[in-house]
């Protein structure tokens, strides 16, 4: 398995775990206690910091265990990255229009912000999954 493929696995796992916990806790609180009037940015900031720390630590471990990871990206890697970006961008565009629809419908800023964040997370998950499929099947 190449370093880029391992990196994609790490990013997928960290994204699913960290944002899965974030959405579970945040949306669970909002449904149980009502939508907060003031945004709880501390929880989101904590999720972002946790994701960065876990990703950095995992990449350091990967670099130590597989020192061949510094090789240049070849055409196949660039094409896989491009295809992943295209598919993730499509999901992000759908989420953007959903967010605009919520804003036009007069939804709470809490829900608008979290739909936008969910769209970003979903687009990153789709991007990682399509890259992994392309790495396994070949382009």
What is residue 62's predicted lDDT score, i.e. its pLDDT?
87
Residue 121: count other Cβ atoms within 10 Å of its Cβ. Answer: 20
Tally of domains in the chain: 1
pLDDT tens for residues 16-60?
999 999 999 988 888 888 887 766 778 889 999 999 999 999 989
Do 96 and 119 meet the contact criterion of CB atoms below 8 Å apart?
yes
pLDDT tens for residues 93-129?
999 999 999 999 998 888 898 999 999 999 999 999 9
What is residue 38's predicted lDDT score, i.e. its pLDDT?
67
Domain range for 72 is: 3-137
What is residue 86's predicted lDDT score, i.e. its pLDDT?
94
What is residue 108's predicted lDDT score, i.e. its pLDDT?
87
> What tokens were used for 17?
């775990």
What is residue 66's predicted lDDT score, i.e. its pLDDT?
78
**1-5, 6-10, 66-70: segment of lowest average pLDDT:** 66-70
Query: Model's pTM, two decimal places?
Result: 0.85
Pick from 91, 80, 98, 95: nearest CA to 124: 91
What is residue 69's predicted lDDT score, i.e. its pLDDT?
53
Measure the CA–CA gap between 112 and 53, rounded to whole angstroms.
27
What is residue 58's predicted lDDT score, i.e. its pLDDT?
92
pLDDT tens for residues 69-91?
556 778 888 899 999 999 999 99
């Amino acid at each position: 398995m190449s370093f880029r493929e391992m990196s994609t696995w790490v990013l997928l796992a960290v994204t699913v775990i960290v944002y899965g916990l974030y959405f579970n806790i945040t949306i669970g609180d909002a449904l149980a206690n009502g939508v907060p009037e003031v945004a709880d940015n501390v929880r989101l900031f904590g999720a972002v910091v946790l994701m960065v720390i876990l990703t950095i630590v995992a990449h350091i471990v990967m670099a130590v265990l597989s020192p061949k990871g510094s090789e240049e990206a070849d055409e196949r890697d660039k094409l896989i990255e491009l295809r992943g970006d295209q598919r993730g961008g499509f999901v992000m565009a759908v989420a953007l229009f959903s967010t605009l629809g919520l804003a036009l419908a007069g939804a709470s800023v809490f829900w608008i912000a979290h739909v936008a964040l969910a769209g970003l997370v979903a687009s990153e998950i789709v991007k990682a999954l399509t890259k992994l499929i392309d790495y396994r099947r070949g382009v």
